Structure 1
Amino acid sequence: MKELPSPTQPLMQLLESPLRRRPQVAPPPVRRAEAAPVLEVVWARHQDEVRAAQRLRWRVFVDEMGASLPPTPLLGANHDIDRFDAHCEHLLVRLPGQAGRPSEVIGTYRVLTPAAAQRAGGLYSDSEFDLAPLAAWRPRMVELGRACVHPEHRTGAVIMALWAELAAFMARNHLEAMIGCASVTMNDGGHHAASLWTRLQASHLAEPAFRLSPRLPLPVEQLDTTLEAEPPALLKGYLRCGARILGAPAWDPDFNTADLPVMLRLADLPERYRRHFLGA
């Protein structure tokens, strides 16, 4: 929000004669723009930091979006945890603690590197798609997942902070591509997701050599594909950065989403994003 100028002498006061001047009402206080919060971008190094990310994920995916996830033994029903978490690097954006308050995780991604994917027995995306066409890319490709931002901090600053560190991570480790599932809600039964896929395959579909097949396809042919469907904010950001859709959406019953396979190669970053994220 832009800062408003200080109020000047009221217009009516200038136009009225001093003898006919009406009682003046004090103008409302001017609302000043609040300073942007200081953000701390870190990689989780301790289990409690990972747990904070998992609690944020539960709040967004379950409490807000309605995902149906099982409670975690010992931790209860407020942590989103699966078998890949132990193999992933967890990137966090935090509000630093102050006045006796601990820091708060307000944004997160998890990153599965090629070496970690081997230890995990594959990628999360393997469960949703046949990734055989990407076999040659696996040694140079990371999987991004579980991206979310606290609902009170969705101004763009958090996701940009996450992306900047992800790009630096890719450069430091000589990695060339990112893959992940971009989720589209199915609260309307899937019509929005089917319409979005119909629109995006005409403009952002990858070349045939990269096309993936979903293991549990969204039944697009049974859905309305004529809606004016806009991509979710995160997917829209990926597409602006040069990402391509690798094929038709899979249906994820647990999260009640249609998942589009997305790949972003650093070589495809537009120049302005390359300068912003990589300084090149």
Structure 2
Amino acid sequence: MRDLPLPTLPFSDLRPVASDRRSLHPPKADEKAAARPTAARLDVAWARSDADIRQAQALRYQVFAEEMGARLCTPKGTPPGLDVDAFDAFCEHLLVREVRKDGDLGKVIGTYRVLTPAAAKRAGGLYSETEFDLTRLRSLRDRMVELGRSCIHPDHRSGGAIMVLWGALAEFMLRNELDTMIGCASVSMRDGGHFAASLWKQLEKTHLASIEWQVRPRLPLPVEELRHDLPAEAPPLIKGYLRCGARILGAPAWDPDFNTADLPMMMRIADLPARYRRHFIE
């Protein structure tokens, strides 16, 4: 869940293509036949090959390393220009591509990765657990997925790419009888962390989850040592999650490698407001 602008294109104009790689319940043949490129000339699909995943990892490298200045710790032998970590091999990777005028698909311009409950067990846990103690979420795990490494190419942040991704994620959740999404929403610390601390203090008052779902950061952002009285409007992606009924699970963790403050967030299908339920589910 990285900080990206929230597109304004209405989701009703977008119809995601469904095709899965290693998904729990692949779409039926008639669903595949009915799938068509979106009205916005975007195609959304689950990665079906290592080459697909490499395209997503290349986009992540461009956004996180080149644009955001993250220090990526990749496994030994990783080709240059890719963002790779130990969780990628266990995740489903959702990809958005442009559809060219000739009908061929262009490069990946948007991505999310999804760690399912079964895959999390094989991986030995969630990525979020490297930043937070998630003990209180134990009862949710059988129907909970982790979203991560989301990013959009800078040329496409005013379009419908993120909405197409969200629509495909909602369909995936329902098809696989999953009801909870968690992840880390990152806030830049280029100002030293004052904005992130101030944002947390504001969201704590309005969007903090109930005590039974709250988690603790392993490396807390030192909020009390920072200014936390600044006016701070939530970045567009976080604002979008909150509109969809998401809750903040606790105080932010500090991620030195990405130079971000990471807010733990949870969004449940049951909490989707009616207008978003119509767009993404009904």
TM-score by length of structure 1 reads 0.84
CA RMSD of aligned residues (A): 1.8
- Structure 1 unaligned spans of 5+: 2-35
| Greater RCO, CA 8 A, separation 6+ | 2
Equivalence for 2:83: 80
Paired residue for 2:53? 50
Give the C-alpha shift of residue 102 in structure 1: 5.8
Give the superposition deviation at 1:96: 2.6
Amino acid at match of 1:227: L
- 2:134 corresponds to: 131
**Scaled by the length of structure 2, what TM-score is found?**
0.84
Percent of aligned pairs sharing the same letter: 63
Rounded Cα–Cα distance in structure 2 between residues aligned with 1:61 and 1:73? 19
Determine if contact 2:60/2:82 at 8 Å carries over to the other structure.
yes
SS in 2 for 1:202: helix
Match of 1:192 in 2: 195
In 2, Cα distance between equivalents of 1:75 and 1:133: 35
Are residue 250 (structure 1) and residue 243 (structure 2) matched?
Answer: no
- Partners of 2:41 and 2:100 within 8 A in 1: no
1:111 corresponds to: 114
Partner of 1:149: 152
Distance 1:172 1:200 in 2: 32
Contact 2:92 2:115 in 1 (8 A): yes
CA contact (8 A) 2:198 2:232 kept: yes
Deviations 1:63-90 (A, max 9, x none): 1011011455444331000000000000
Tell me the alpha carbon deviations over residues 15-74 of structure 1, each in whole angstroms, 9 at most, x when there is no partner.
xxxxxxxxxxxxxxxxxxxxx740000000000000000000000011101101145544
Which of these two proteins has the greater Rg computed from alpha carbons? 1
Show the 5 A alignment for 1:216-255. 216-255=219-258
- Secondary structure in 1 matching 2:262: strand
Deviation at 1:98, TM superposition (A): 5.5
- Residues 6-45 of structure 1: pairs in structure 2 closer than 5 A: 37-45=40-48
2:95 is aligned to 92
Distance 1:76 1:253 in 2: 23
In structure 1, the residue matched to 2:214 is: 211
CA–CA distance in 1 between the matches of 2:40 and 2:136? 43
Q: Encode CA deviations 1:189-222: one digit per residue, 9 max, x unaligned.
A: 0000000000000000000111100000000000
